[in-house]
Amino acid sequence: MEIFKNFIDGEWVDSLGKDVFENINPADTREPLGAFPRSRAEDVEAAVSAATKAYTRWRLVPPPKRGEILWRAAELLRARKEELAREMTREMGKVLEEARGDVQEAMDMAFYMAGEGRRLFGQTTTSELPNKFCMSVRAPLGTCGLITPWNFPMAIPAWKMMPALICGNTMVLKPAEDAPLSAWHLVKILEEAGVPRGVVNLVHGFGEEAGAPLVRAEGVKAVSFTGSVPVGREVAQACAGSFKRLCLEMGGKNVIVVMDDARLDLAVEGAVWGAFGTTGQRCTASSRIVVHKAVYREFSERLVERAQRLKLGNGLDPTVQVGPLINEAQLRTVARYVEMGRAEGAQLLCGGHRVSDGEKAHGWFFAPTVFGDCQPSMRIAQEEIFGPVVTLIPCDDFDQAMEIANHVVYGLSSAIYTRDVNKAFRALRDMETGICYVNAPTIGAETHLPFGGTKQSGNGHREASTAALDFYSEWKSIYIDYSDRLQRAQIDT
Ligand code: NAD
C-alpha cells in the first residue's frame, strides 16, 4: 500500500510517532487508497513553528507575486483535473462528474484569488483636517490553522488556502481523516507551483489528536473550521480563551419551497439534484421540501418516481447517479434517522434501507429516501441527517411556507420555486439563510459570491469572494499628516 506523508517546512515527513491510518474507498471497502500519518500534538507543533518562521518572509512577498504562484497552481489543477477527480471518487465516493466539479471549484478559487493579488483593494478617503491623507490597507494575520471536512475534499481546503495565501498568511492544514488524499494532491500542487518552504504545511490525522492541538497552538493566529456543529462549538470554546480569530462553517437543514404556481417538472428535477446529489452529504443539501398543498400529491408522486429510478453504485461508472455514504458510522446514522422518522409518524414513501446487492455489498450504499406528510417539528425535519433522506412538508400558503422554512436552528441555504416575481422577492427578503435561490435547488454556490450561513450554520463570517479576504486580513487604517504641525482630530475644527 502506498504510504503518504505530512508536509512540514518544505519536507515530506512521517509523523513523529510513525503511526498511520488507512484511507478506504467507501464504494468498495476492499480497496485501500493508502496509509496516512496519524499525527499528534508534536507534529502539529513542528508544523506551526515552520509556518510561523516562514511568515516573516512570506508576508513581504508582493501580492502579485503570490498571485503568480496561485495561478500556476490553478493551471496544474486544470492539467490534472481528470486524474484528481478519479482519485477523489475513489477516496470519498462522489460520482465522477461531481468530483470533477470539486476540482473545478478549487481551480476557480485559485484563479480568482490569483487575480486578487493585483487588487486586495483598501480605501483612500478624505480627512477632516487639511493637509492630511487617509487610507486603509489589508494586513495579513500570521499562521492560520485550517480544518476541513471530507465532503468537498479539494474545494474546501482550496477555499481556505487560496485567500489565506494571497493575503500573506502561512498555514497548517488538517484535512478530514476520511478524505486525506485530495488535500495531499492540492498541497503537492502548491509545492510544485512554487510556494516557498514552510508557507503551506499539511498535517494528517484525527480530530482530537491533530485538529484540537492545532486549534489550541499558541502560534496560530486564526482558525478556519468547516464541519459539524458539535465540533464547531468545541473549536469556538478552544479559541475563546485566546481571542483567536475564528471562521466557522457548519451544518444546514436547507429548504426548498414549492409554490402552487411553480413549474413542477423543474421543481422535481431540482429537488432530486438538491436532495440526492453527493448522496445528500452536502452542507447545502435540500433536506426539506415545503410544498403547497394544491400541488403536494403530484409533486410527491413525481419525486418518489424519480428517486426510485436513481442508479446507485461506484461513482467511477458514468451511468451511476448516486454514490455511497462516506463510512459505516454515517450509514448507521442515516438508518437511525429513518427509524426515528417512522416512529415519529412520517410516511416512508420510498427507500429507507441499505442497498447491498452484488458489488454494492462491499460499500456503504443507502437507498434514496423520501418521507411524506412530515410535521415541521419532527426530528427528521429539524436535524441534519447528512444522507440521501428528504422530508416533504405540506403547507397552506406562502406565509406558512416562510414560517416553516425559518423554523430550524440552521440558516445556510434556501430556495423557492415560483413563477410569481412578488413571491420570489418576498422569499428572498424573508428567508433567514446566507444563500437563497429562485427556481434552483439549494446547492450550487459559485466561488465569487460570499458563502456561509446564519444562526447555527456559522458565526457570521463568509468564505469565498472578497468576503474571504475580510477573514484572512486585518484592516490597518493609516493617517499621513503633511501639514508640518500638530493637528488634533475632533479638536482643531
Ligand atoms: P466533523 O465536524 O466531524 O469534522 C470536520 C473536521 O474537524 C475534520 O477534519 C475532523 O478531523 C476535525 N475535528 C474533529 N474533532 C475535532 C476537534 N475536537 N478539534 C479540532 N478538529 C476536530 O465534520 P465532518 O463529518 O467531516 O463533515 C460533515 C459536517 O460538515 C456536516 O455537518 C456538514 O454540514 C458540514 N459541512 C459544512 C460546510 C459549510 O461550508 N457550511 C461544508 C461542508 C460540510
Three-state SS letters, the chain? CCECCEEECCEEECCCCCCEEEEECCCCCCCEEEEEECCCHHHHHHHHHHHHHHHHHHCCCCHHHHHHHHHHHHHHHHHCHHHHHHHHHHHHCCCHHHHHHHHHHHHHHHHHHHHHCCCCCCEEECCCCCCEEEEEEEEECCEEEEECCCCCCCHHHHHHHHHHHHCCCEEEEECCCCCHHHHHHHHHHHHHHCCCCCCEEECCCCHHHHHHHHHHCCCEEEEEEECCHHHHHHHHHHHHCCCCEEEEECCCCEEEEECCCCCHHHHHHHHHHHHHHHHHCCCCCEEEEEEEHHHHHHHHHHHHHHHHHCCECCCCCCCCCECCCCCHHHHHHHHHHHHHHHHHCCEEEECCCEECCHHHHHCCEECCEEEECCCCCCHHHCCCCCCCEEEEEEECCHHHHHHHHHCCCEECEEEEECCCHHHHHHHHHHCCCCEEEECCCCCCCCCCCCECCEECCECCCCECCCHHHHHHEEEEEEEEECCCCCCCCCCCC
CA of 463 to the centre of ligand 1 (A): 15
CA-nearest residue for atom 19, ligand 1, is 212
The confidence score (pLDDT) of residue 258 equals 99
Q: Give the integer Cα–Cα distance in Å for 101 and 94.
A: 10
Please name which of 199, 197, 217, 39 lies closest in space to residue 145, comparing C-alpha atoms. Answer: 217
Is the pLDDT at 493 greater than 90? The verdict is no
The C-alpha cell 476557480 sits at 108
CA-nearest residue for atom 12, ligand 1, is 207
283 carries an active-site annotation: yes
Taking residues 168-179, report their average pLDDT.
Answer: 99
List, for residues 132-149, the tens digit of each pLDDT value. 999 999 999 999 999 999
Please name which of 475, 477, 446 lies closest in space to residue 120, comparing C-alpha atoms. Answer: 475
Is the pLDDT at 407 greater than 90? The verdict is yes
Q: Give the integer Cα–Cα distance in Å for 32 and 2.
A: 9
The confidence score (pLDDT) of residue 341 equals 98
Percentage of the chain surpassing pLDDT 70? 100
Is the pLDDT at 66 greater than 90? The verdict is yes
Instruction: Give this prediction's pTM.
Output: 0.98
List, for residues 377-394, the tens digit of each pLDDT value. 999 999 999 999 999 999
Q: Which atom of ligand 1 is nearest to the CA of 453?
A: 41
CA-nearest residue for atom 22, ligand 1, is 207
Amino acid in the structure at residue 196 = P
The CATH code that applies to domain 6-250+458-477 is 3.40.605.10
Taking residues 472-493, report their average pLDDT.
Answer: 97
List, for residues 174-204, the tens digit of each pLDDT value. 999 999 999 999 999 999 999 999 999 999 9
Is the pLDDT at 467 greater than 90? The verdict is yes
Taking residues 245-253, report their average pLDDT.
Answer: 98
The confidence score (pLDDT) of residue 225 equals 98
CA-nearest residue for atom 14, ligand 1, is 207
**Residue 336: CB atoms within 10 Å:** 11
Please name which of 219, 233, 186, 184 lies closest in space to residue 205, comparing C-alpha atoms. Answer: 184
Per-domain boundaries in the chain: 6-250+458-477, 254-438
Is the pLDDT at 72 greater than 90? The verdict is yes
Q: Which of 209, 249, 384, 463 is catalytic?
A: 249
The confidence score (pLDDT) of residue 186 equals 99
Ligand 1: lining residues by beta carbon, under 6 Å: 147-152, 174, 176-177, 206-208, 211-212, 215, 226-228, 231, 234-235, 249-252, 283, 384, 386, 412, 457
Strand 286-292 to strand 389-395: parallel, antiparallel, or no bridges (unpaired)? parallel
The confidence score (pLDDT) of residue 390 equals 98
Superfamily of domain 254-438: Aldehyde Dehydrogenase; Chain A, domain 2 (3.40.309.10)
Identical fold, 6-250+458-477 and 254-438: no
- Asked if 60 and 89 count as a contact pair (C-beta separation under 8 A), the reply is no
Query: Which mutation among 39, 91, 98, 147 tests ligand 1's pocket best, with the greatest number of atoms within 8 A of CB?
Result: 147
Query: Which mutation among 39, 178, 231, 471 tests ligand 1's pocket best, with the greatest number of atoms within 8 A of CB?
Result: 231
Mean pLDDT score of the chain: 98
- Asked if 39 and 151 count as a contact pair (C-beta separation under 8 A), the reply is no
